[in-house]
């Protein structure tokens, strides 16, 4: 009977009992889709619709003029757009790879290893969640300047390697893994590195996917490093270039360029989230308060 009820609550295929759930969830889904639909439609609006009053939500006469203006402005720039794309790819891959690795290794140590100050270190990580980016802007600049990292790729990478939220979620996920798995592996002669790579990593793939998404979202549209730590134009990122490109045009044409640039910067985040959304949901389900 318990199994039957379980199947009625969450059947593998469509069940009439799910209709009431769809009725409740469908308006919420449509409401949350509105910003995405607006960003897409806004990028394809002609100038007459961009400045129409009252503004229209759905594009009526879609056009590619905004993207054409964006590409024309990019071709007339002194530095090719490919250089900015290359810079963003280098910085994004480094932050996502190194930052996620640091978060995972730290989460494993804080969750399963016994050592002094473990609780204090975790509390420091939790305290870091209270600071908004503006509060650490000056200390970050002083550190970057003191280390001599200005006008380098490290100026983009170094400030973003610490990811307190990602570390917290991954640690909570690892907390749910039974200690008996690690103890059995240690009894069989496995080292901590073997336990970490052969047991922990395969079991926390949903948390890893969440960490990757959070790291990507943090670095892909990050502007502070290009504004504060990098003075050489050829070392700036695509996010900064898109922003300045939209602002460089006049007030009228700049709106269309800005709309096209916003869509281009938004699409990688959307694609990555769609590809890994199942793992993100699993992480949130296992990383809450137990």
**pLDDT single digits (tens) 243-282:** 887 665 556 667 788 888 888 888 888 888 888 777 666 6
pLDDT at 6: 45
pLDDT at 12: 63
Q: Based on C-alpha coordinates, what's the Rg of the chain?
A: 24
Q: How many CB atoms lie within 10 A of CB 34?
A: 10
Q: Does domain 72-286 bear CATH number 3.40.50.300?
A: no
Q: What is the dihedral of CA 107, 110, 111, 113, to 10 degrees?
A: 120
Region(s) of the chain under CATH 1.10.3720.10: 72-286
- Whether the link from the prior residue into 54 is cis, omega within 30° of 0, is yes
pLDDT at 290: 43
pLDDT at 135: 84
In the structure encoding, which two tokens stand for residue 29, read together?
Answer: 């889904």
Distance CA 82, CA 88 (A): 10
pLDDT at 289 over 50: no
pLDDT at 3 over 60: no
Pick the more confident residue, 152 or 17. Answer: 152
What lies within 8 Å, CB to CB, of 98 at 6+ separation is 157, 161
pLDDT at 4: 41
pLDDT at 223: 87
pLDDT at 101: 93
pLDDT at 234 over 60: yes
Contact indicator for 279, 209 with CB cutoff of 8 Å: yes
pLDDT at 42 over 90: no
Q: What is the pTM of this model?
A: 0.79
Pick the more confident residue, 224 or 11. Answer: 224
Distance CA 59, CA 245 (A): 23
Q: What is the dihedral of CA 274, 280, 281, 283, to 10 degrees?
A: 170
pLDDT at 206: 85
pLDDT at 189 over 90: no
């Amino acid at each position: 009977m318990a199994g039957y009820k379980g199947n009625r609550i969450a059947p593998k295929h469509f069940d009439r009992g799910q209709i009431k759930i769809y009725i409740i969830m469908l308006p919420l889904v449509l409401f949350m889709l509105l910003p995405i639909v607006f960003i897409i439609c806004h990028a394809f609006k002609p100038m007459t619709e961009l400045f129409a009053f009252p503004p229209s939500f759905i594009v009526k006469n879609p056009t590619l003029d905004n993207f054409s203006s964006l590409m024309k402005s990019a071709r007339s720039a002194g530095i090719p757009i490919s250089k900015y794309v290359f810079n963003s790819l280098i910085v994004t891959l480094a932050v996502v790879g190194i930052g996620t690795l640091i978060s995972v290794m730290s989460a494993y140590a804080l969750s399963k290893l016994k050592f002094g100050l473990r609780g204090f270190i975790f509390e420091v990580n939790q305290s870091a969640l209270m600071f908004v980016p503006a509060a650490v802007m000056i200390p970050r600049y002083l550190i970057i300047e003191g280390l001599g990292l200005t006008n380098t790729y490290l100026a983009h990478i170094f400030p973003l390697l610490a990811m307190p939220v990602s570390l917290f979620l991954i640690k909570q996920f690892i907390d749910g893994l039974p200690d008996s798995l690690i103890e059995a592996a240690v009894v069989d002669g496995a080292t901590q590195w073997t336990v970490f790579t052969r047991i922990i990593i395969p079991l926390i793939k949903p948390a890893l996917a969440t960490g990757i998404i959070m790291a990507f979202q943090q670095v892909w549209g990050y502007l502070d490093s290009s504004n504060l730590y990098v003075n050489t134009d050829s070392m700036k990122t695509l996010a900064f270039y898109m922003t300045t490109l939209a602002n460089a045009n006049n007030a009228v044409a700049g709106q269309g360029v800005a709309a096209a640039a916003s869509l281009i910067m938004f699409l990688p985040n959307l694609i990555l989230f769609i590809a890994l959304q199942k793992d993100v949901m699993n992480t949130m389900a296992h990383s809450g308060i137990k």
